[in-house]
């Protein structure tokens, strides 16, 4: 299976630091804002802005309220189950 970035070449218009965040989440699965900042070596303020933008655009989701963890939308197991449920009974 190809990576999220390979499947979504249209994302290449994003700034380098936003692409770095997407690539990190593709590999890590999910992480907090602080973990993303530390691992990507990007200031926390820039990570916050990138995560907000990516969440609003629907590329990532936030899990949890007190200390949110971010993940790529397609890697969320609940969404995978929803897709299976939506396609159930449909002819290919």
**What Å distances lie between residue 82 and 69, 76, 79, 90, CA to CA?**
20, 10, 5, 14
Domain ranges, ordered by start, for the chain: 4-87
Judge residue 65's burial from the number of C-beta atoms within 10 Å of its C-beta, 0-12 exposed, 13-18 middle, 19 or more buried: exposed
Instruction: Give the confidence band of 4 by pLDDT, cuts at 50, 70, 90.
Output: low
Q: What is the pLDDT of residue 61?
A: 92
Please state which CATH number belongs to domain 4-87: 1.10.10.10
Confidence of residue 65 (pLDDT cuts 50, 70, 90): confident
The average pLDDT across 59-83 equals: 73
Q: DSSP states of 38-80 as a string?
A: HHHT--HHHHHHHHHHHHHTTSEEEE-SSS-EEEEGGG-HHHH
- DSSP helix/strand/coil, 11: helix
What pLDDT is stored for residue 45 in this prediction? Answer: 87
């Amino acid at each position: 299976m190809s990576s999220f970035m390979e499947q979504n070449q249209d994302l290449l218009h994003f700034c380098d630091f936003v692409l770095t965040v997407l690539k990190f989440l593709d590999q890590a699965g999910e992480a907090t804002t602080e973990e993303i900042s530390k691992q990507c070596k990007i200031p926390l303020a820039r990570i916050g802005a990138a995560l907000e933008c990516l969440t609003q655009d629907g590329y990532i989701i936030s899990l949890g309220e007190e200390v949110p963890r971010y993940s790529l939308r397609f890697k969320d197991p609940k969404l995978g189950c929803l897709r299976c449920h939506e396609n159930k009974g449909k002819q290919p």
